[in-house]
Each structure stands twice: as structure tokens, then as C-alpha cells.
Amino acid sequence: MVAYTLCGLHLASTCTIPGLAASESSSDLDVLVSLQEMPEWLTEAIRSRGRLWHASSYRSETGDSALTIWTLADGAYFWFRYCDGTEFVVDRAGTRVWAAWPDALTLEDAATYLLGPIWGFVLRLRGHICLHAGAVAIGDRAIALAGPPGAGKSTTTAALAKLGFPVLCDDLVPLRDEGGVFSIVPSYPCLRLWPTSVSALFGSAEALPPLTPNWDKRSLDLTANGYRFGTDPLPLAAIYVLGDRSPQIDAPLVSVLAGHAALIALIANTYSNLLPDTGTRTPALRLLGRMAARLPVRRVTPHADVAHLPALCRAILDDFHAYV
């Protein structure tokens, strides 16, 4: 078994998980992960008691849902099946995960799912609320960079990392509410970037290695080449919500979101918010309501031209230092 700490949880895995740094074994094990191994009872459970729980609206080239999720054993387990054949089984308590994948795929491919949507689901089952965002440390506080897929969260996070700011999270930002003080829990020391973002940041898509042999995304290792990964939770100071890009000369722009607009923006950028409720939706809404009332929430309008990335970083940093 290999021990890790991920998003504040202690896990043990049957083999090495790419992208994670092994830690000392802990007696307080939270999650056990079995890789390229499925429970013996799975086939019978699928045949006798499986019920469709969710089918994503996004379709593969063959017209199939990119992801289907079934509940098994009267709701005691969730069976995730991706259109490429990768499968996960997660128990309802969020303490056990099994994973398997076809021979044409790799452990790195499976880890991409595991460290993203599957771990986000585990956190959700355990009552943790997460934003779909990146997170960066500025001094002894942190900001979250939220937004829908393709908004530029990871790209902006990487641009700030190039300026020397430690990165706490990419894509999945776990939140804590400790007596009204909201904090971010670090995830893993890697940024996942599309080739176009790598070209904009580093001059060539080949400047960074592929995340996996079968995916287009590239990997920025935050433990090498002078980059910094923040390993300790930090108080969340502000949330910047990236919106549609604009070709206007005055972009990038930062404006205030307040009241219901701020709350709606946070709800829209909650991780896994398209999945059915697992009993955590009401607590999540209460937490997001408190955050919207107490924290600065900003709408950010990036420029359509990626050459303006430095200006985008300056706009966010200027706002942070002036008002947060």
C-alpha cells in the first residue's frame, strides 16, 4: 500500500498514483483505493440491482453519454462508467474506491479521472463542498479562480504560478468553514493545461510533457523548475469568477458581484453540481450563502487575446491589494 494525503484526507492505494507525492502512513485512514481491481460482487450487483442514477448530456463520437452512473446494492454503492471503458465503484460513505480500465488505456489516464471528478464525488459524499476553480496563495491568504469549463481557470492559475505565487489547487477547490473563517485545502502539485494554453504561456505546446499518453492536455509540475505548491490550508480572501472573453480594448475588467448575483455565481461554480443530490445540497447552499455574504466575489472579463494574460493577472492582483 502507498499512503497519500489529498484534499485533507488520508488515503491508501494498492499502487502508486501518478501526480501525487507519497506521505507517511497514517493510522487515521479515510479512503482505501484499489487500482485495476473491481469488487467480486460487481457483476451480480449490476445484473440484479443496478439502477441508472445519472447520464451526462455530453455525448461521445459514437453518441453515447460520456459518463453514466448507476447505484448498486440498494444505493450502497455508485458505479461510474466512462465512454472510454474506465470504471469506478465508490461506496456511499466515501471510504472505498475501486478502479479499472481497458488495456488500451493507462494508469495515468485513470488517475486523471480519480484526482478530478471521482475525488470530487468522494469529498461530496463525505460532506465537503468544493468549487470548480483554481486556487493561488497571495501572502498568507488565498484566492479562488472560478468559472465554467474553458473559462481559463487553469491558464490563469498557471500565469500566476509563473509570477511566483504558490498554487493550492487546480480544478477542484475543497472548502472549509471553521467558525465563519473560510479556508482552502490544497489538492495536488500539478496543473493540467490544454496545448493552446501551454503555447500562450510557454511559447510551444511541447514545452510541457503530456498529462497521459492518450490525452491532449499537458502537465505542469509544481514541485520543479522554481514553481511552488502550497501544502497548508489558507484562509480564502476572495473569489474571482471568470466570464466570457471580450475583444474590447478596456478588457480585462474586474467588477463587483454582490447579493443574489454573487450567490448564483458560487452555486453555478460548485463542483459536480450537475449530479443528483446525495444529501449535501442543502448544507452546500447554506455554506455558499455565508460565503457570498462575507467574502468579496468578483466578475472577471478576460481579453479575448491570450497575449493579455499578464494584464489579466495584474487586474486581479490590483483588485486584491486594493479592496480585499
E runs forming strands in the chain? 2-6, 9-13, 31-35, 51-55, 67-72, 77-82, 87-91, 96-100, 130-138, 141-146, 167-169, 172-178, 181-184, 190-193, 218-221, 234-242, 253-257, 297-301
pLDDT tens digits for range 281-321: 888 899 999 999 999 999 999 999 988 999 999 999 999 99
Confidence of residue 278 (pLDDT cuts 50, 70, 90): confident
Residue 27 has pLDDT above 80, yes or no: no
Residue 59 has pLDDT above 80, yes or no: no
Confidence of residue 21 (pLDDT cuts 50, 70, 90): confident
pLDDT tens digits for range 234-273: 999 999 999 999 898 888 999 999 999 999 999 999 987 7
What's the average model confidence in pLDDT over 147-171? 95
Q: Which residues contact 111 (CB under 8 A, 6 or more apart)?
A: 17, 18, 19, 212
pLDDT given for residue 156 in this prediction:
97
Q: Which residue has the higher pLDDT, 61 or 8?
A: 8
Q: Which residue has the higher pLDDT, 279 or 196?
A: 196
Strands 141-146 and 130-138, sheet pairing:
antiparallel
The structural domains of the chain, with segments of one domain joined by +, span: 2-125, 130-323
C-alpha–C-alpha distance, residues 24 and 36, integer Å = 23
Angle at 285 between CA 283 and CA 291, to 5 degrees: 105
Helix (H, G, I), strand (E, B) or coil at 147: coil
pLDDT tens digits for range 79-108: 999 999 999 999 999 999 999 999 999 999
Instruction: State in words which class domain 130-323 has.
Output: alpha beta
Instruction: Say what the pTM is.
Output: 0.92
Q: Which residue has the higher pLDDT, 59 or 242?
A: 242
What's the average model confidence in pLDDT over 28-51? 87
Identity of the amino acid at 92: R
Confidence of residue 44 (pLDDT cuts 50, 70, 90): confident
307: burial class by Cβ within 10 Å (0-12, 13-18, 19+)?
Answer: exposed
C-alpha–C-alpha distance, residues 304 and 188, integer Å = 29
For the chain, give the mean pLDDT: 92
Q: Which residues contact 250 (CB under 8 A, 6 or more apart)?
A: none
What's the average model confidence in pLDDT over 60-88? 90
Confidence of residue 153 (pLDDT cuts 50, 70, 90): very high
pLDDT given for residue 7 in this prediction:
94
The answer to whether residues 100 and 37 touch, using CB atoms and an 8 Å cutoff, is: yes
Closest-CA residue to 306 (of 137, 134, 154, 191): 154
Residue 47 has pLDDT above 80, yes or no: no
pLDDT given for residue 178 in this prediction:
85
